[in-house]
Amino acid sequence: MAQARHNVDWDEMFRIAVDGEKARAYFESTPPADRHTCSMCGKMCAVRTTNMILEGKKVEFCTEK
Protein backbone atom coordinates (compact mmCIF):
# COMPACT_ATOMS: atom_id res chain seq x y z
CA MET A 1 0.00 0.00 0.00
CA ALA A 2 2.85 2.39 0.80
CA GLN A 3 4.27 1.87 -2.69
CA ALA A 4 0.85 2.43 -4.26
CA ARG A 5 0.41 5.59 -2.16
CA HIS A 6 3.86 6.80 -3.25
CA ASN A 7 2.89 6.28 -6.88
CA VAL A 8 -0.62 7.72 -6.30
CA ASP A 9 -1.80 4.52 -8.01
CA TRP A 10 -5.49 4.53 -7.12
CA ASP A 11 -6.36 1.31 -8.92
CA GLU A 12 -3.66 -0.58 -7.00
CA MET A 13 -4.79 0.99 -3.71
CA PHE A 14 -8.38 -0.09 -4.39
CA ARG A 15 -7.20 -3.57 -5.38
CA ILE A 16 -5.30 -4.22 -2.13
CA ALA A 17 -7.50 -2.22 0.27
CA VAL A 18 -9.49 -4.03 2.95
CA ASP A 19 -12.70 -2.73 1.33
CA GLY A 20 -11.64 -1.57 -2.11
CA GLU A 21 -15.20 -1.20 -3.39
CA LYS A 22 -16.08 1.26 -0.65
CA ALA A 23 -12.79 3.12 -1.13
CA ARG A 24 -13.44 3.41 -4.87
CA ALA A 25 -16.99 4.64 -4.23
CA TYR A 26 -15.70 7.38 -1.90
CA PHE A 27 -13.01 8.33 -4.43
CA GLU A 28 -15.44 8.48 -7.33
CA SER A 29 -17.96 10.55 -5.35
CA THR A 30 -15.44 13.45 -5.39
CA PRO A 31 -12.85 12.69 -8.05
CA PRO A 32 -9.73 14.85 -8.25
CA ALA A 33 -9.15 17.03 -11.30
CA ASP A 34 -5.73 15.37 -11.67
CA ARG A 35 -5.73 11.59 -11.12
CA HIS A 36 -2.16 11.84 -9.78
CA THR A 37 -3.51 13.60 -6.67
CA CYS A 38 -6.53 13.27 -4.42
CA SER A 39 -9.34 15.77 -3.96
CA MET A 40 -7.77 17.52 -0.96
CA CYS A 41 -4.78 19.46 -2.31
CA GLY A 42 -5.23 19.18 -6.08
CA LYS A 43 -2.25 20.56 -7.96
CA MET A 44 -0.61 21.50 -4.64
CA CYS A 45 -0.29 17.78 -3.82
CA ALA A 46 3.02 17.22 -2.04
CA VAL A 47 3.18 13.62 -3.28
CA ARG A 48 2.63 14.68 -6.89
CA THR A 49 5.18 17.48 -6.55
CA THR A 50 7.79 15.17 -5.02
CA ASN A 51 7.26 12.60 -7.76
CA MET A 52 7.56 15.28 -10.45
CA ILE A 53 10.84 16.54 -8.94
CA LEU A 54 12.20 12.99 -8.64
CA GLU A 55 11.34 12.47 -12.33
CA GLY A 56 13.26 15.64 -13.22
CA LYS A 57 10.17 17.59 -14.24
CA LYS A 58 9.81 21.31 -13.74
CA VAL A 59 7.14 22.30 -11.21
CA GLU A 60 5.35 25.61 -11.78
CA PHE A 61 2.14 25.88 -9.81
CA CYS A 62 1.11 29.29 -11.14
CA THR A 63 1.25 28.31 -14.81
CA GLU A 64 -0.30 24.81 -14.53
CA LYS A 65 -3.96 24.39 -15.45
For ligand SF4, the closer CB: 14 or 45: 45
For ligand SF4, the closer CB: 18 or 33: 33
Nearest approach, Cβ of residue 50 and ligand SF4 (Å): 9
Q: Alpha-carbon torsion 40, 42, 5, 12, what sign?
A: positive
Which residues contact ligand SF4 by CB under 6 A? 37-38, 40-41, 45-48
Nearest approach, Cβ of residue 52 and ligand SF4 (Å): 12
